[in-house]
Amino acid sequence: MHLIRRVYGTMIIAADGPDAARAVVDRARATVSQTGKCFFCEIMLAVPAAIACADVGDVEDAKMYLAAAEDSAELWQGTAWQAAILEARAHLARAEGDEAQAARLLADAAAIFEDAGQPRDAARCRA
């Protein structure tokens, strides 16, 4: 139950392009709905799923996954998950056409990732 969210989150991130990532989200939804829910682990799937949905313009599902990630992030205070939430919000802002907000959110995410010792994530947000 716990590991499956991490596995699918990683598969979404590793997918070959936005459409492939969105397809993995659908596979994850079908599988995860059968395994029960862990509020701690939900963020591991919800952040990549929110980003994947936003990147293909599926704003409704992106918001749903972002809300789930935000709920889970409440349990992970003081971690890089707060940066990941900001990054997901940035993708959603971009999907909604707000490039200025997306840029601000990505800059904030990069700073938090950097402070958390995650330079690759920070660099991705700065790219």
Counting the structural domains of the chain, the total is: 1
User: What mean pLDDT value characterizes the chain?
Assistant: 95
- Ranges 38-42, 58-62, 79-83, 104-108: which has the least confidence: 38-42
Which whole number is the average pLDDT over 31-36? 76
Question: 80: Cβ–Cβ under 8 A, 6 or more apart, which residues?
Answer: 112, 113, 116, 118, 121
Q: How confident is the model at residue 33 (pLDDT cuts 50, 70, 90)?
A: confident
pLDDT band at 35 (very low <50, low <70, confident <90, very high): low
- Work out the angle between the directed axes of helices 2-14 and 42-55 (0-180°, nearest 10): 30
Q: What is the CATH number of the domain that holds 47?
A: 1.25.40.10
**Cα–Cα distance measured from residue 101 to residue 16, given in angstroms and rounded to the nearest whole number:** 27
Question: Domain range holding 65?
Answer: 2-126
How many angstroms separate the CA atoms of 92 and 71, rounded?
Answer: 17
In this model, does residue 34 exceed pLDDT 70? no
pLDDT bucket at 32, cuts 50 / 70 / 90: confident
